[in-house]
Amino acid sequence: MDEFAITISLGSLMGVMARAYMLRSDYRQYPGYPHGYVTHLSLGFIASALGSVAIPAIVAKEYAAVTFLALAAEQFRNIRNMERESLSALEEAELVPRGHDYIEGIARVFEARNYLVMVTALITSTVYYLFRWPLASIFVGFVSILMTSFLMRGKILSDLAEVRVGKISFEGPLLKVGNIDIMNVGLPQMREKILSDALGVEIHPKDDNARSTLHNMGQRQAIAHVATSILGTKKDVDTPEFTPMVRKDIDTGAIALYCVPAEKDIESLLFAVRKVPILESAYRKPLKTKAGRMAAD
């Protein structure tokens, strides 16, 4: 078989395997249907083919073929728009929406995964072309897949904050989690139901960077959405009192989550909240600035 054909085949194979490895349906349930898997695997195949053909094109001095990489980058940017539009349309059916910041983060991830597929295919094909050893290129391809998994791993809430149980209580009609005010609940029967079924979580930032991040409304909405996605919620369209809420202590920067889950399991809720991803658009680092460090001292 032609050496270029083997180079492209091995690169494409490892690229598709990388995309399949990254294609997981989790609590977000997206993609959760066969057409979603087909779409992303097909785009992964295109990305891997483009990545694996780069070295043969350069060696053969077919420099025009390399320009397809630029076209691919433009196409993958359109993927972000496609994911954003799809998830925004799904928001209308969510009782506890993700929020625009969370949707934008998911869309960026789907775009970035195609670039990682291209890199995996490029590395695999380069190793084969240099050493003409299929096993070595496959091994390097698997290492690249593991590296893509590491690169796609962002920060989670437990990296920035301490998450602990918050006590649900009422001060008259005012619902509180610990010392943080949540909302007014007027009906006595609703207050009794909340005391019986609700759970509360307190989230205390570890530093000023974390406090600034938790101040972001998109990050708070993501916490509420993840918690109810995993444990369910008793909220319905006619029970606003059961709406999951995340409120802030204006003095300390700590936040509190209130929810009425379908499964009342505080340990599961704590675990879910600790694993909430830190949104790219919400992450702040005021301590990286001189003014921020001066204010913290």
Give the pLDDT of residue 177: 93
Mean pLDDT, rounded, for 138-155: 84
Give the pLDDT of residue 95: 83
Give the pLDDT of residue 155: 87
Q: What pTM value is reported for the model?
A: 0.83
Coil vs helix vs strand at 215? coil
Mean pLDDT, rounded, for 27-31: 55
Is the bond preceding 173 in cis, omega lying within 30 degrees of 0? no
Alpha helices in 60-164 (DSSP H): 63-91, 100-131, 134-151, 157-160
Confidence band of 88 (pLDDT split at 50, 70, 90): confident
Give the pLDDT of residue 165: 94
What is the DSSP code (8-state) at residue 137?
A: H
User: Residue 255 above 90 pLDDT?
Assistant: yes
Residue-averaged pLDDT of the chain: 85
How many percent of the chain have pLDDT more than 90?
30
* Cα–Cα distance measured from residue 78 to residue 230, given in angstroms and rounded to the nearest whole number: 30
